[in-house]
């Protein structure tokens, strides 16, 4: 009974404020295109990425995220293009986002580039109130589902990078979009998210590399979120790492570079909040496949 009550309260809290937080990723260092359009084409090859995240396993209505992206530089130019799709399911809510990205890079030195990007996106939101335990079905808030509410948006970002360092700042969505049902009895608001990220690769030896990284997310109405992580790359093939999401979770990560173009990774989050008593953690798995060309080839696998 206690568990059911907590789950119900959690879901009821999620629905009125649904979409106030963008998707959450442990492997943000590989999935940068979804939050920063300036990343498009920065790897110098066509990069295809897929991710599945199951959060708070065992908790009814817990978030599930699926993400897919593809981005590439445009040959003989300083432009990069990208396309991404993200689907989030949380309790009674189901939100999909599709985004198109365009970047422009300026060499600032022999090793570093400064990239600027714009993102044009669209959200499709559904909320099915019948999936909730409604103690008062006559409540106007739950009378009409939100069906296929469409909302366009636009965002931008900057990305400064080399083969060993990256710094990025982005706002994926500039518009504070409000979604309503037919009777305007329930509102959902997409708020501005500000992302600041960075990382550096240290060569500890010819066969061992270390990369600490950080992602900071700021959004109105939500606590500051800081993700700290450190990955070790062994023989340019196997990566092992630990991460900490401030006041939220601790994480173990692993990845393997199966071929020059194929990377697979997995992470497990241990909840450090009171929710740890009601779930068995969060799982995230990703796959990145890259197409090399004759003129450009990444000799050493990169962390980002």
Higher pLDDT, 236 or 187: 236
Residue 52 domain flag: yes
Give the model's confidence band at 26: pLDDT under 50 very low, under 70 low, under 90 confident, else very high: very high
- What is the mean pLDDT of the segment spanning 207-223? 90
Give the model's confidence band at 3: pLDDT under 50 very low, under 70 low, under 90 confident, else very high: very low
Residue 92 domain flag: yes
Give the model's confidence band at 22: pLDDT under 50 very low, under 70 low, under 90 confident, else very high: confident
Inform me whether the pLDDT recorded for 221 exceeds 70. Answer: yes
Residue 56 domain flag: yes
Residue 202 domain flag: yes
**Distance from C-alpha of 21 to C-alpha of 37, rounded to nearest angstrom:** 18
Inform me whether the pLDDT recorded for 24 exceeds 80. Answer: yes
Residue 191 structural domain: 35-180+187-291
- What is the mean pLDDT of the segment spanning 52-63? 90
Predicted pLDDT of residue 18: 40
- What is the mean pLDDT of the segment spanning 138-163? 85
- What is the mean pLDDT of the segment spanning 158-166? 94
Residue 8 domain flag: no
Residue 30 domain flag: no
Give the model's confidence band at 1: pLDDT under 50 very low, under 70 low, under 90 confident, else very high: very low
- Taking a C-beta distance cutoff of 8 angstroms, is the pair 284, 25 a contact? yes
Residue 10 domain flag: no
SS3 24: coil
**Distance from C-alpha of 304 to C-alpha of 299, rounded to nearest angstrom:** 14
Inform me whether the pLDDT recorded for 266 exceeds 90. Answer: yes
Inform me whether the pLDDT recorded for 54 exceeds 90. Answer: yes
**Distance from C-alpha of 72 to C-alpha of 49, rounded to nearest angstrom:** 12
CATH code at position 154 = 2.40.160.40
Cβ neighbours of residue 223 closer than 8 Å, sequence gap 6 or more:
247
Inform me whether the pLDDT recorded for 272 exceeds 80. Answer: yes
Number of domains forming the structure of the chain: 1
Residue 26 domain flag: no
- Taking a C-beta distance cutoff of 8 angstroms, is the pair 304, 215 a contact? no
């Amino acid at each position: 009974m206690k568990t059911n009550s907590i789950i119900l309260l959690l879901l009821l809290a999620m629905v009125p404020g649904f979409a106030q937080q963008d998707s959450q990723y442990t492997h943000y260092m590989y999935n940068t295109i979804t939050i920063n359009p300036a990343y498009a084409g920065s790897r110098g090859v066509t990069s295809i990425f897929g991710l599945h995240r199951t959060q708070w396993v065992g908790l009814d209505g817990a978030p599930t995220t699926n993400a897919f992206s593809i981005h590439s530089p445009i040959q003989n130019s300083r432009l990069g293009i990208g396309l991404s799709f993200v689907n989030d399911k949380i309790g009674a809510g189901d939100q999909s986002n599709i985004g198109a990205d365009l970047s422009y890079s300026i060499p600032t030195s022999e090793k570093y580039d400064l990239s600027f990007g714009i993102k044009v996106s669209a959200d499709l939101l559904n909320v099915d109130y019948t999936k909730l335990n409604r103690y008062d079905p006559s409540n106007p808030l739950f009378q009409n589902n939100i069906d296929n509410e469409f909302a366009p948006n636009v965002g931008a970002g900057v990305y400064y990078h080399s083969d060993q360092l990256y710094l990025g700042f982005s706002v994926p969505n500039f518009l504070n979009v409000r979604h309503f049902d037919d009777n305007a009895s329930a509102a959902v608001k997409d708020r501005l998210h500000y992302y600041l990220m960075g990382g550096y690769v240290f060569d500890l030896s010819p066969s061992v590399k270390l990369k600490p990284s950080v992602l900071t997310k700021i959004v109105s109405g939500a606590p500051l979120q800081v993700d700290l992580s450190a990955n070790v790359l062994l023989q340019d093939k196997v990566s092992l790492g630990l991460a900490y999401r401030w006041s939220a979770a601790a994480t173990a990560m692993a990845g393997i570079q199966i071929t020059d173009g194929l990377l697979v990774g997995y992470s497990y989050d241990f909840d450090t909040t009171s929710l740890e008593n009601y779930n068995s953690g969060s799982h995230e798995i990703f796959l990145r496949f890259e197409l090399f060309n004759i003129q450009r080839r990444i000799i050493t696998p990169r962390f980002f």
